[in-house]
Chains A and B, each alone.
Chain A
């Protein structure tokens, strides 16, 4: 069975600074996807960034980037130039690879990020 662990229940950062959220996972699968989702108070999960396990290059989306260490089973999220709107719960998630489409997501327990002015 796959597990996802987020060891930081809460983090805080000042506006315009950089913050890194940690995530580790356990799996025996060789091909899979990893995701970071943002959940604001509206409750809707919003995809921030995704990483395919077979790709060695770390994914980047504007101010968001990941540090994917496959051997260590580590997948951290770096948020640069933090903005007040980044305040939310952040969830790391794992998904097995499927030939087509989406499989179920396995989520961590989340990290609450507070961005201060």
Chain B
């Protein structure tokens, strides 16, 4: 596709369940970012990949959060043992050599 694609669009998880969120960046985009957007807030940085290398994971809130991008294209954000405070929209963005980041439509995660 022409844009950044994220799936699923919505996810409801029971507390304690593991979830996996997928991001398909724009083809050829080297950089990939994950952000977490709590209700009524701005997005907050989670982690950054350049190709398959995870160069910055300083924003991951706990060791329950894990991200990978094994072939330098599709990325997966995994959250283990979900808790209520993990409820948020998770946004993925990709970019090439320009300064503009292109965002997907996000995954809304609700932990019940």
Contact = CB atoms under 8 A, between A and B. Distances in A.
Contact of A45 (B31, B59, B93, B99): B93
Contacts of A4: 42
B91 A102 contact: no
B95 A44 contact: no
A68 interface: no
Interface in A42-63: 42-47, 50
Contact of B41 (A44, A93, A95, A110): A110
B101 A102 contact: yes
B56 A104 contact: yes
A109 B38 CA distance: 10
A102 B100 contact: yes
A94 B48 CA distance: 16
Contacts of A43: 89, 91, 105-106, 108
A64 interface: no
B33 A104 contact: yes
Interface string B30-42: 1101010000111
A47 to B, nearest CB: 6
Contacts of B101: 47, 102, 105
Interface in A78-98: 91, 93, 95
Given A43-B106, A107-B43, A108-B42, A102 B89 contact: no
A55 to B, nearest CB: 13
B44 A107 contact: yes
Contacts of B56: 104
Contacts of B98: 101-102
B65 interface: no
Contact of A102 (B31, B40, B108): B31
A97 B58 CA distance: 19
Interface of B: 30-31, 33, 35, 40-45, 48, 50, 56, 59, 89, 91, 93, 95-101, 103-106, 108
Given A44-B104, A102-B31, A102-B100, 6 more contacts: A43-B108, A91-B43, A101-B98, A101-B99, A102-B99, A110-B41
